[in-house]
Amino acid sequence: MKTLTVMSRKGGAGKTTVSVNLTLAARAAGLRAVLADADPLRSATEVLRGRDEPPGLLFETSASKLFTLTEACRRSGVDLLVIDTPAAPEADVAEAVKMADLCVAVARPTYLDLAATVQSVAVIQRLGREGLIVLNQCPPSRGGLEPPCVLKAFEALRFANLPVAPTALRSRMIYQTAFAQGRSVLEAEGGDAAAKEVRALFAQAWRRLNGKAAPAVPTANDDLAGLAARRSEIAARA
Ligand SMILES: Nc1ncnc2c1ncn2[C@@H]1O[C@H](COP(=O)(O)OP(=O)(O)OP(=O)(O)O)[C@@H](O)[C@H]1O
Ligand SMILES: [Mg+2]
């Protein structure tokens, strides 16, 4: 089992968005993926509560229970555990970082988010974990040209001493409307562009975790039947 902790010290950067979408991408790929909601605000739980899903997708937890949950997931054959964390307190986030094979630090391409990321990087490195920085809520590129704020963010992050995912998630309404339906962008109608970037990010995170290519992730639009079959397969193994 691999554990992926999603973090950012700034509220609203996109931790829950990245956590939920990566977990559901992994499940769509046929993996046994579990999301641990370690944020007392329970945003991930709010998104996922209404889903018609076999049990075992989501666990509400807290920093002090993470070790026990991680071990239970390991014993029950989970492939990927994703931990959604709160922005603070740092001591609680550190517990989730300690569990992680990979920490994904989410940042918007803004001065304050990037400054906060430097601190996340320090925590990841102090605890000797692997990390990956992901830019989220980026303005769209136009005609293949990146907006200046995104270019500046990539440039600034060259000095962060942690790899940066080449795929930046764009600011798209579909990330919000999909959540209102309890879905990932992979499952949402009209989410093709967002689905493409989530698949790319999943592939990059998986390669960092496992050193090999990720299993293919179908979307609702190209493989509804495949998604349903995978869900039943996961349910049968649970
Ligand atoms: N790429 C995106 N495009 C459009 N909206 C987004 C995107 N990413 C996140 N959002 C929206 O921004 C808001 C904050 O996102 P999210 O809840 O994922 O952040 P968070 O870091 O988990 O916040 P918190 O610190 O409160 O836990 C949500 O309304 C979410 O739908
Ligand atoms: Mg959140």
Could you tell me the residue ranges of all domains in the chain? 2-212
Q: Within 13 Å and on the Cβ side, how many CA atoms surround 235? A: 10
How much of the chain exceeds pLDDT 90, in percent? 86
Q: What is the mean pLDDT of residues 8-25?
A: 98
* Domain 2-212 top-level CATH class: alpha beta
Ligand 1, atom 25: nearest CA belongs to which residue? 11
Ligand 1 neighbours (beta carbon < 6 A): 8, 11-17, 39, 41, 43, 87, 136-137, 169, 171-172, 175-176, 179
pLDDT tier, 230 (very low <50, low <70, confident <90, very high otherwise): low
State how far the Cα of 99 lies from the Cα of 38, in Å rounded to an integer.
12
Distance 14 CA to ligand 2 centre (A): 7
pLDDT of res. 50 = 85
State both tokens at 172.
């798209």
Degrees, nearest 5: CA angle 62-33-217: 140
pLDDT, tens only, 136-163:
999 999 888 999 999 999 999 999 989 9
Position 178 confidence tier, pLDDT thresholds 50, 70, 90: very high
The answer on pLDDT for 235 being more than 80 is: no
Query: Please, are residues 103 and 130 in contact by the beta-carbon 8 Å criterion?
Result: yes
Q: Which residues of 18-29 are buried (b: 16+ CB within 10 A; e: fewer)?
A: bbbbbbbbbbbb
Neighbours of ion ligand 2 (CB under 5 A): 15-16, 43
